[in-house]
Every structure is written in structure tokens, then in C-alpha cells.
Amino acid sequence: MPNPALTPPGIHPDRLRVLADGAPRAEGPVVYWMQQAQRAHANPALAHALAIAALLQRPVGVVVGLTPNYPEASARAYAFLLEGLRELRGALEARGIGFTVALGEPPEVALAAARQAAVLVVDRGYLRHQRAWRARVAAGAPCPVVQVEGEAVVPVDVPSTKAEFAARTLRPRLWRVADAYLDLVPDADAPLRWAGPRLALAPFVDVTDALRDPERLRARLAVDERVAPVSRLYPGGERAAEARLARLLGEVLPSYADDRNQPQRDGVSYLGMYLHFGQVSPVEVLRRVRAAATAADAPGVAAGAAAFVEELLVRRELSLNHVERVPDYGSYASLPAWARRTLEAHADDPRSHPYDDAALLDGRTHDPYWNAAMLEMRATGYQHNYMRMYWGKQVLAWSPSPEAAYARLLAWNNRFLLDGRDPNSYAGVGWVFGLHDRPWPERAVFGTVRTMNAAGLRRKADPEAYVRKVEARVRSLAGCAP
């Protein structure tokens, strides 16, 4: 049994994992190394740090390690992140919680903070490098380390311990247990207000005050400035996430079941980027969507809520299952064996439009719908999910090999999209090649992997209107009248 001081009541025990056991140190604050869950509200890791601090009667400090070379991150991603951290500082300090941001590799910054801590609390990340970071901290910290999982509705280890074949295999496992994990611990103030100077994290440079000017701070980082910020459309932070959630509940939900696959409309939540950066709680989102469905008289709300919850709970947590259970996720070799076999059998089929990278990146293809989807991705940092599927299928059709298509899709998805570099990215790209899907009638190039084409897109949606919408949005982003 872990030391009881590390597991006070409040958070569901399935969300807790003691990574390094022991008695809290006699001195020092409780420190929360914030990495995946970048929010002050409805944050189980923060709530658990506050509960430990109340038991020990210690102050609480939050520390963030800001790495200048996060995998595939760009000026776009960093602008979104820094806008969120700027807002977060004020929200934490108003509750008596210390806040320090330092330039450095996150696990090394966390270890520097742990040297001053009674207990170190960490949130849970699912990608390989995030897991490696936490293992490094647990092995090197001179104090107990507790991990708290708040970025899944159902903790990822509960419904399944193997890689699930498809949504249909995970769905019943999630729904059998989901209601047990929908509690939220109320936000609380620190038991003792942070009164001293910020945590000393030498040799790392404290840039907390530099958050007042995110653009200037970003200039100090070695990030890809060619992928420009899109704050005019999608500002980062909890307030912006709350505005998106309020819009979903008030305007979008009644027609979500029909409109979510209509790319010419705005019938989507735009919450994916906020979930990716941990600026909104998936549990809170699910609770409020279900409450809206229960309270509403408007027709369509129940159907819209059911469709949205399918995406948030089943599809999103299928992605978490994928990166957690498939060691080589993000590689062509991680695709299902049946899909690789059929794609390899058709690898030498003639490609109707063998475009090179430059033509694709510039959107210079024969397909105006695909060009618009590429423009939406490159210019705005967002791509409608239905068009993302269509976009990916055409890259598979036009690339010299399925391996080349996979590499293109993953690189561009992670480089341009605000919700790239995410479990959903790896599962979504994999889906283009048959992951979490089934065999379909055999076709050239695709074999028995599902196809999508322009004629089908025109039958199901209005892609010409989508092209106009994207062009207007890009003009708006550039500061021109739409």
C-alpha cells in the first residue's frame, strides 16, 4: 500500500498511480508538474495536489517546463500554448497557488522542482516521450511522485488492457463503467497561500514574467515560424475553450448529428485543439453535454449529444488505447496486418495523379475540394474532420507508395494542425490505411482499404460551399473582408 499521505480522498483511485512511494519530505511545498493538463479549472492533478497540501498544511506550486524543441511544434502551436499559460498564471495566483515557467526540457525542470518539494504530483500523458518523461522523473526525484490521470473520461487502463480492434469492441467496455468516472472535485484555494519567491529552478531560466508578451517569448524559442499563429481564429486558453463549449451547447448541439459531417457548415465544436493542450476537461465537457440533452426541449439535442459523446468518449479514447497499447504507433508497421497486405498487393498499381510534395503542399492538384482542405490546414491550423478523411484518402491514392503516403499525412497533420501531435493524430492517420476499420470491396491502389472520392463527397455534402467557406476564412485571417 502506498503512503496514505499520497492518496487522500477526493480523486477516484483509478485515476491515481504512485510512481515513487515514500513519506512526504519534512519541508517544502507540494509541487504539481503541469504538462498535459494546462488548466486551472476541473483539473484532477491540481485538485489532488491541493488535497495533499491540505493534509500536510503546505503551500502548492505549479511548475511548467517550456521546451524550445517540442516534437514537431511550430510558432502556431507555441502561440496557442503561451496564450493559455498567460491566462493560467492569473487564475492560479488568484487561488494562492504559486506558478513558475522555466525554459528547459520538461522532465529536467520537474526534477529541479522536485528537489524542493515535499511531494511531486504529475498529470498523465499517453505518447511515448510523455511516458518516458514521467519515468525519468519518477526514477530521479528525491521525493514521492504521484501521477493523476485527468485527460481521459475513463482512465485508459480500466476498460481494456489490449489494443482494441475497433470502436465497436471498446464502446461497450467504456459505457459499462463511464458513469463511475464523471465526478469533478470542486476547485479549491491553496490551504496556505504561496507567499515567497517563485521556485528556484536553476540552471533553467525563469520566464514566468515573460508570459505577459507571448509573441516576444516565442521569439526566444527555436520553433518553425513558417507555420504562423492563428490567434485571430483560435486563441488559446481556458476562456476561449469555455466560449467554444458554450457555443456547442447553445447553438451547435441541436443540429450536430446532421451537421458534423457537413464541412460547408460550422456544425462542429472546435474543441479538439483545447483538449489537445489540456485547456478543457473532457469530463466536464461530457457532463455539460449530457446535462444539456437532459434539460433541452429543442428537437435534435438528444441526437446531437449522443453523436458528440460518441466522438468525445468512444473515438477519442480509442485513440488513447491505440497509443498506449501499440508500441510502434506512428509507424506504417503499426497498421493492421490485413491492411498492409492488401496495400502491398496493390503497391505497383498505376497512380492517376502522382503529385510531388511541393504540388500537394501548395494545393496545386486537379481536385478543388482537396486543395481547399489543404488550404484550411495550412492557413488556419484546423481541418474539418470529414474533409480530413477525404484529404487523407486522396494522398494515399496519389502517393508513389502507401509508406510514402503515411509519412506525408503524419508529417503534415502534426506540423500544421493545432490538434496535431496527439493520440487522435496517430489513430486518424492510421484510419486512412485501415486502422480501426474493416475490409471493403477491392479497388485499385487501395485494395480492400476503404476509399473516398469526389463523387461521394458531392452526394453527401456541398463541397463547393466548403471551398467558399475556407477561402473566406483565410481572407479573414489575413485581415481582409471575407
For the stretch 121-156, pLDDT in tens is 999 999 999 999 999 999 999 999 999 999 999 999
Hey, is 125 helix, strand or coil?
Answer: coil
pTM value?
A: 0.97
Report the pLDDT value the prediction gives residue 38, as an integer from 0 to 100. 98
DSSP state of 310: I
Q: How many percent of the chain have pLDDT more than 70?
A: 99
| Pairwise CA distance, residues 279 & 150, whole Å | 12
In the chain, CATH 3.40.50.620 sits at 1-151
Residue 147 backbone dihedrals phi, psi, to 5 degrees = -100, 135
**Sign of CA pseudo-dihedral 308, 310, 313, 316:** negative
Report the pLDDT value the prediction gives residue 432, as an integer from 0 to 100. 98
Give the architecture-level CATH label for domain 238-325: Alpha Horseshoe (1.25)
∠ Cα 441 442 445 (to 5°): 140
| Pairwise CA distance, residues 222 & 75, whole Å | 9
Neighbours of 297 (CB within 10 A): 5
As a residue count, the chain comes to: 482
Neighbours of 172 (CB within 10 A): 10
In the chain, CATH 1.25.40.80 sits at 238-325
176-210 pLDDT tens trace: 999 999 999 999 999 999 998 999 999 999 999 99
pLDDT at 113 over 90: yes
| Pairwise CA distance, residues 178 & 313, whole Å | 9
In the chain, CATH 1.10.579.10 sits at 332-477
CB 199 within 8 A of CB 107: no
CB 48 within 8 A of CB 146: yes
Would you call 69 exposed, middle or buried from its count of C-beta atoms within 10 A (0-12, 13-18, 19+)? Answer: exposed
Q: What CATH superfamily classification does 1-151 receive?
A: HUPs (3.40.50.620)
389-398 pLDDT tens trace: 999 999 999 9
| Pairwise CA distance, residues 85 & 78, whole Å | 10
| Pairwise CA distance, residues 436 & 326, whole Å | 13
Give the architecture-level CATH label for domain 332-477: Orthogonal Bundle (1.10)
